[in-house]
Structure 1
Amino acid sequence: MGKAMEIQMSIKRKLKVMITVKMEMGLIMESFWGLMVGATSTVCVCIPLFSSSKTLAYPLPVLGRAVSGCSNHNSVGENAARDTLEEVMAEALSKSGSDWSAVRAVCLGVSGVNHPTDQERILNWLREIFLSHVKLYVHNDAVAALASGTMGKLHGCVLIAGTGCISYGFAEDGREARASGAGPVLGDWGSGYGIAAKALTAVIRAHDGRGPQTMLTNKILKALSLSSPDELIGWTYADPSWARIAALVPEVVSCAEACDQVATKILVDAAQDLALSVKAVVQRLHLCGEDGNGSFPVVMVGGVLEANKTWDIGKEVVKCIQEQFPGAHPITPQVEPAVGAALLARNFLMKESTKNIHS
Structure 2
Amino acid sequence: MINLAIDGGQSGLRLRVLPDGRTGRGPGYQHGPDSRAATVEAIRAAARDAGVAEQVDTIRGASGARLTEPVDTICLGLTGFPPDAATAAQLARHIARSLPAREVRLTQDMVTAHAGALPGGHGVVVAGGTGLVCLGVGQDGTWRKVDGHGYLFGDAGSAFAIGRAGLVAVQRARDGRGPSTTLTGTGLDPISLYPSPTLVAEVAAFAPEVFRHAPTDAVAQAIVDQAARDIADTIHAALIGPDAVPVALVGGLFEGAGEQLVEPLRAALSPRAQLTPPAGTSLDGAERLATGDLTPYADLVLVHR
Place the TM-score, normalised by the shorter chain, in its bin.
0.7 to 0.9
Aligned ranges 1:175-324 → 2 under 5 Å: 175-219=142-186, 221=187, 226=188, 229=189, 232-258=190-216, 260-282=217-239, 285-286=240-241, 289=242, 294-307=243-256, 309=258, 312-321=260-269, 324=270
Letter in 1 for 2:25: V
Partner of 1:130: 99
Is the 1:106–1:342 Cα contact (8 Å) retained in structure 2?
no
Which one of the candidate residues 85, 107, 123 is aligned to 1:139? Answer: 107
CA distance in 1, matches of 2:210, 2:85: 38
Q: 2:74 aligns to what SS in structure 1?
A: strand
Aligned length: 283
Given that 1:31 and 1:102 are in contact with CA atoms closer than 8 Å, whether structure 2 keeps it comes out as yes
Instruction: Give the distance between the partners of 1:74 and 1:189, measured in 2 at CA.
Output: 25
Deviation per CA, 1:40-62, whole angstroms, max 9, x where unpaired?
222222231xxxxxxxxxxxxx6
Structure 2 residue identity aligned to 1:189: A
Q: Which amino acid aligns with 1:268?
A: D
Please say if 1:90 is aligned against 2:48: yes
Task: Give the corresponding residue for 1:171.
Answer: 138
Percent identity over paired residues: 27
Contact 1:37–1:72 (CA<8 Å) still a contact in 2? no
TM-score (structure 1 length as normaliser): 0.71
User: What residue in structure 2 maps to residue 69 of structure 1?
Assistant: 27
- Deviation string 1:303-328 (CA, Å, 9 cap, x unpaired) is 1112355x52123223322xx2x243
**Aligned equivalents of 1:161 and 1:148: distance in 2?**
15
- Aligned residue for 2:155, secondary structure, equals coil
Out of 110, 124, 133, the position equivalent to 1:157 is 124
Q: Does 1:38 align with 2:13?
A: no
Query: Rg bigger for which structure?
Result: 1
> 1:319-345 CA deviation, whole Å, 9 max, x = no partner?
322xx2x24332332432112111112
Separation (CA, whole Å) in 2 of partners of 1:111 and 1:175: 22
RMSD across aligned C-alpha pairs, in angstroms?
2.6
SS of aligned partner of 1:238: coil
Contact 1:105 1:349 in 2 (8 A): no
Query: Which structure dedicates a bigger proportion of its chain to helix?
Result: 1
Larger proportion of strand: 2
Give the deviation of 1:255 after TM superposition: 0.7
In structure 1, the gaps of 5 or more residues are: 1-29, 49-61, 353-359
**For the structure 1 residues 70 and 242, does the alpha-carbon distance in structure 2 shift closer, same or farther, using more than 3 Å as the test?**
farther
Taking structure 2 as the reference length, the TM-score comes to 0.83
Partners of 2:71 and 2:283 lie apart in 1 by 16
Shift of 1:75: 9.2
Alpha carbons of structure 1 residues 308 and 277: separation in structure 2 relative to 1, 3 Å: closer
Question: 1:313-352, aligned counterparts within 5 Å?
Answer: 313-321=261-269, 324=270, 326-348=271-293
CA contact (8 A) 1:39 1:163 kept: no
The alpha-carbon deviation at position 66 of structure 1 amounts to 2.4
Name the CA shift for 1:93/1:330 in 2 (closer, same or farther; >3 Å).
Answer: farther
